[in-house]
Chain A
Amino acid sequence: GNSVTQMEGPVTLSEEAFLTINCTYTATGYPSLFWYVQYPGEGLQLLLKATKADDKGSNKGFEATYRKETTSFHLEKGSVQVSDSAVYFCAPLWEGGSEKLVFGKGTKLTVNP
């Protein structure tokens, strides 16, 4: 079945460091791809998305590119801030039939000043 594999955490970085959180999915069709973020004490919120191959989603300095050839959607940020500390979830959405998001396990990011 459809599944997603996300980089294990936790990840601890210093402020201004480069961030990569890996995400890959099973190659069953061509899903839309999403990253959600959960800040401490808050609900999940959509961070960015990409709906077709080679699309780049971006928001708040974060970027992710839909790579069909490697079935990946890695999240990157060039310079993290303390306020980026949160849990990040990769979530493909397969359409056709029962459309639903399949969330990864989440990667907890802590950014130290």
Chain B
Amino acid sequence: EAGVAQSPRYKIIEKRQSVAFWCNPISGHATLYWYQQILGQGPKLLIQFQNNGVVDDSQLPKDRFSAERLKGVDSTLKIQPAKLEDSAVYLCASSRSTMSLGELFFGEGSRLTVL
């Protein structure tokens, strides 16, 4: 089965610009996650979707970050305007259902550099 697909793999922007990341989860996976991984740290959950509804976005900086999962399949994460501290790898993950909590399948990530 195909894995979690993310694009772009790399993005370099200047501060105050905007950027969008795309994720296509494994087919049939109801739950989708976006994580932020800053260099030298573990991934931090930004937002979790169950189908097309938001389950948890408590750590999403909503003044600049937004995410959507229309139709309950693929998802986009947007940052506008970007700050220097947003430089990180943005990881998308999916899981089959709430019955498989903790068993996540990750994409390779999108590396963002903000200059």
Once the chains are docked, how many angstroms separate the CA of A101 from the CA of B35? 10
A73 interface residue (CB < 8 Å to B): no
Once the chains are docked, how many angstroms separate the CA of A49 from the CA of B109? 23
Nearest 10 interchain pairs by C-beta: A103-B42, A43-B106, A44-B106, A93-B102, A43-B108, A98-B56, A103-B43, A100-B45, A105-B42, A99-B101
Instruction: Supply 20 A–B pairs (Cβ within 8 Å), ascending by A.
Output: A6-B42, A34-B102, A42-B108, A44-B43, A44-B91, A44-B93, A44-B104, A45-B105, A46-B103, A89-B43, A91-B42, A91-B102, A95-B101, A98-B56, A98-B58, A100-B45, A101-B102, A103-B42, A103-B44, A104-B42
Q: A43-B106, A44-B106, A95-B101 are in contact. List 7 more A-B contacts (CB 8 A).
A: A6-B42, A43-B91, A44-B43, A44-B91, A45-B106, A101-B45, A103-B44
Question: Shortest Cβ distance from A60 into chain B, in angstroms?
Answer: 16
Q: Which residues of A contact B44 (CB under 8 A)?
A: 103
In this complex, how many residues of chain B approach chain A with their Cβ under 8 Å: the count is 24
Q: Main SS of chain B's interface residues?
A: loop
A32 interface residue (CB < 8 Å to B): yes
Q: Which residue of B lies closest to A42 (CB)?
A: B108
A interface residue numbers (CB < 8 A to B): 6, 32, 34, 41-46, 49, 89, 91, 93, 95, 98-101, 103-106
B61 interface residue (CB < 8 Å to A): no
Q: Which residues of A contact B45 (CB under 8 A)?
A: 100-101
Q: Which residue of B lies closest to A87 (CB)?
A: B42
Residue from B4, B42, B56, B105 within 8 A of A106 (CB atoms): B42
Question: Shortest Cβ distance from A23 into chain B, in angstroms?
Answer: 11
